Amino acid sequence: METTPLARTLREQGANSDLVLIVDDVPDNLAVLHDALDESGYTVLIATNGEQALQRAAQARPDIVLLDAMMPGIDGFEVARRLKANAATAHIPIVFMTGLTETEHLVAALEAGGVDYVTKPIKPKEVLARMNVHLQGARRARQDARQAGQARNALDAFGYASITVRLPEGRLIWQTALARELLQRYCDTRAPETPPVVLEWLRRHAPEARQQGIEPPALSIVRPSVGATPSAAGPSQGASLSLRLHRQTGQDDDGDEWMIVMREVSDTAVIEAMSLSLKLTAREAEVLYWVVKGKTNKDIGEILGSSPATAKKHLERVYVKLGVETRTAAAGVAIKRIRELQPQFEI
């Protein structure tokens, strides 16, 4: 669940309290609810018509909307339908406020996307009680989103990027920052477009993964030259993008969603991963990498533009950090870690 700069600012000002949007064209109703919610610790936004409500909701992403059903211009029912039709605001619970008590009007409110309703004249205590029930779900969703974001950032930090693709339409609905960079670099595509080579691979293997739980073979994409089309990579073709189908993350009557984890496989990517995972400096990781490749200190010095003595000093610090005493032992630790992090990489 993404937040906008305005939403983050409002939450910071309100010490991360729940953000409530009140929509009513009657000033007295707004005043009563605003004061009651403000005293209860909520961060409050107001809108006096349907157009304002849609703008405020899109900009601030409130945790809940208190929505007057009958307003001039765009009425509450239409506001609710538009909020639910927009992916950015569809998750927000809507509580209708209405003076209409006939069953058909209450049914209309629920069919438009409302989760609950309160009748006028408004009783603040009743509104607060109803809100709290629906905000519990919003709070859990916000917490889950934060935890998911932390997990995704952790994956990015170790070079693992991830995306979620929805089938059957093949729309890319979610990606980490690193995934955005890698897909643009290797496939020259941007969300919501899923690269054709990725989509073809996913559509081919998703049915067996869904029905039998079989993990399909990884997809490897070679970075194309200018004007060329991205294609599946063969062995030993240098830098490539490796993709694995991680798991199914959602399913409904209209389709399903799949998370894909990707990683760049190259000398540079391996060195960066070793540096992060083994807590080595960039230069120490470079030296260790070339030790794994069977290079001598003299060779390493020439590759890195330094002397054999400098390469030896870096290697000695690597021994200390890895808790080993020999070149062979250091290489063994590195090879094990490389195989864990990048199993497709040929050592």
pLDDT at 142: 62
pLDDT at 226: 47
Q: Is 61 left (phi over 0), alpha (psi -120 to 50) or beta?
A: left
Provide the whole-model pTM: 0.42
Domain 159-265, CATH:
3.30.450.20
CA distance 143 to 155: 18
Q: In this predicted model, what pLDDT tens digit does every residue of 63-74 receive, in sequence order?
A: 999 999 889 889
pLDDT at 66: 95
CA distance 71 to 84: 19
Least confidently predicted of 6-10, 12-16, 56-60, 234-238: 234-238
CA distance 286 to 314: 9
Q: Where are the domains of the chain?
A: 5-148, 159-265, 270-341
**Average pLDDT taken over every residue of the chain:** 81
Q: In this predicted model, what pLDDT tens digit does every residue of 1-51 receive, in sequence order?
A: 445 555 555 554 444 478 899 999 988 888 888 888 888 888 888 898 999
Q: What does the pLDDT average to over 284-305?
A: 89
Q: What does the pLDDT average to over 168-189?
A: 87
| Cβ atoms 42, 86 nearer than 8 A | no
Radius of gyration for the alpha carbons in the chain, expressed in angstroms and rounded: 27
Which of 151, 197, 148 is closest to 170 using CA atoms?
A: 197
Q: Matching CATH topology for 5-148 and 159-265?
A: no
User: Which CATH topology does 5-148 take?
Assistant: Rossmann fold (3.40.50)
CATH number, domain 270-341, options 3.30.465.10, 3.40.50.20, 3.40.190.10, 1.10.10.10: 1.10.10.10
| Cβ atoms 128, 36 nearer than 8 A | yes
CA distance 109 to 70: 11
